[in-house]
Amino acid sequence: MAEENETAYPVAPTTGSSRKAERQRVASSAKAVRAADRPAPRPARAPRRTAKPLRSLVILTMVGGLVATVALPAYGAWRPTEAEAVTIQQLANDNAQSLVVASDATNSTLNRESYSATTSEQIAKKKAQEAAAARAKELAASVASTTSQFASVDLSMVAPGTGAVRWPLASFTMGEGFGARGGAHMGVDMLIGQGTPIYAAAAGVVRVSQESFGGYGVAVTIDHVINGVKVSTLYGHMTYGSRQVSSGQTVKVGQVIGLVGSTGRSTANHLHFEVMVNGGHVNPISWLNANAG
């Protein structure tokens, strides 16, 4: 059947056409005989062939119209005619009310998404709502992280032990020791996770309590008098905003003064702890071993 259609098209009014037509008549009659015992002939295909290009043409026209509409905001000077606007409405959406009429689309900042909104007021309102939602989400996230960071710590707890001197951390892993870096390291690095409570090593008065104390970052120093001896302790690299004491404040032994962090000149969460006895640095571990209980 396919051959019949294909040979039918090129037939042209040439001199040899009568002979060709004769051959075709013979061929088609033979086929007709063969086809006679078949139940039903297929419907004519010619109409479908002519319909296809027509449909393509319609689609092309539609696509062309859409492209012109989408591109419109980029070319603000160009104005579509009223007829085109109506056609665009019909093509894009049955609900004409949800469309921005092309003649209104003069704002150069208007983008494709804006076509789902009705008026410029509604577009502005929608964008404001989205911005507000984003801000609220951001704020909630920051509050949640700050709250959870401190909520997990019981700031009223005290260091374990009963002595007048206590360890500043309940537990830790030893990092760089006293006198490291050619004697430049005047304290010890006690490695432990961020947010771990730091305790006052003894009762005393807070001298320094700063968010930025040089290389120590967030730090606290406390002056003590222990058995008549002047002792000072320093706690460095605390978490920002975690200090629980202020300068001049009296603290009890084992009171929480802040939380472990990695502020200042630090590359890992740890407490940098220094002890001065009568104005001179001593090995904090040795001092704690001798005095803490």
User: Is the dihedral angle over the CA atoms 166, 168, 174, 176 positive or is it negative?
Assistant: negative
Q: Which residues contact 217 (CB under 8 A, 6 or more apart)?
A: 236, 237, 238, 261, 262, 263, 264, 265, 266
CB of 264 to Zn ion, least distance (A): 10
Nearer CB in complex with Zn ion: 224/272:
272
Nearest residue (CB) to Zn ion, 272 versus 281: 272
- Distance in Å, CB of 199 to Zn ion, minimum: 18
Q: Is 83 exposed, middle or buried (0-12, 13-18, 19+ CB in 10 A)?
A: exposed
Least Å distance, CB 136 to Zn ion, is 41
Q: Name the site residues for Zn ion (rule: CB under 5 A).
A: 189, 272
> C-beta of 180: minimal distance to Zn ion in Å?
8
Nearer to Zn ion, 189 or 251 (CB): 189
Nearer to Zn ion, 73 or 168 (CB): 168
Closest to Zn ion by CB, 191 or 226:
191
Write the CB contacts of 229 (distance below 8 Å, at least 6 apart in sequence): 277, 278
Q: Closest distance between Zn ion and the C-beta of residue 167, in Å?
A: 16
**Closer residue to Zn ion (CB): 84 or 176:** 176
Question: Shortest gap between Cβ of 272 and Zn ion (angstroms)?
Answer: 4
Q: What string of DSSP letters covers 193-252?
A: -TT-EEE-SBSEEEEEEES--GGG-EEEEEEEEETTEEEEEEEEEEPTT-----TT-EE-
Cα dist. 150→60, 87, 153, 259, 269 in Å? 64, 62, 5, 9, 16
Question: Which residue's CB atom is positioned nearest to Zn ion?
Answer: 272
Rounded to a whole number of angstroms, the minimum distance from the CB of residue 238 to Zn ion is: 13
Residue 234 to residue 217: CA distance in whole angstroms: 12
Of 176 and 223, the one with the shorter C-beta distance to Zn ion is 176
Query: Min. distance of Cβ 131 from Zn ion in angstroms?
Result: 44
Phi-psi region of 179 (alpha: psi -120 to 50; beta: other; left: phi over 0): left
Which of residues 68 and 282 has its CB atom nearest to Zn ion in the complex? 282
Question: 196-215 b/e with 16+ CB inside 10 Å = b?
Answer: bbbbbbbbbebeebbeebee
Query: What is residue 274's DSSP assignment?
Result: E
User: What radius of gyration, in Å, describes the C-alpha atoms of the chain?
Assistant: 43
